[in-house]
Amino acid sequence: MWPGWSSSRTRWQLLWATLASLLLPWMLGELVKSFYQPGLDDQSERSQMLVDFIVAGSILFALTMVLTYAIGCWITAVMHGPRRDGDVFPADQGRPQHDD
């Protein structure tokens, strides 16, 4: 499912960042909207709708940042590339090879 460019740590970071990007703005928005009730605010519906727009924008921005991080991880993995061993240097032919 996951390609070879991501490590276990990266996958967990992406998962937690995605969950936080979705849940934290939504929970904060619900808390703020609880203060805008019809008896306490003259324009409660308008205020709650404004909070909803701010929450939607925050979620979209946070998910964009998670996607940017994932693209950065992919670019770093592509730039590192696969490990390749070259030919032995002629002066080192008598020495034992290292298998790292």
**pLDDT tens digits, residue range 21-32?**
999 999 999 999
**pLDDT tens digits, residue range 53-83?**
999 999 999 999 999 999 998 888 888 777 6
pLDDT band, residue 1 (cuts 50/70/90): very low
Q: Quick one: average pLDDT of 40-47?
A: 84
pLDDT band, residue 3 (cuts 50/70/90): low
Residue 92: per-residue pLDDT? 62
pTM value surpassing 0.95:
no
Q: Is 55 in contact with 48 (CB distance < 8 Å)?
A: no
Residue 18: per-residue pLDDT? 95
Q: Domain segments of the chain: what residues?
A: 8-80
Task: In whole angstroms, give the CA distance from residue 100 to residue 19.
Answer: 38
Q: Which of 55, 54, 70, 78 is nearest to 17 (CA)?
A: 70
Residue 4: per-residue pLDDT? 64
Task: In whole angstroms, give the CA distance from residue 48 to residue 38.
Answer: 10
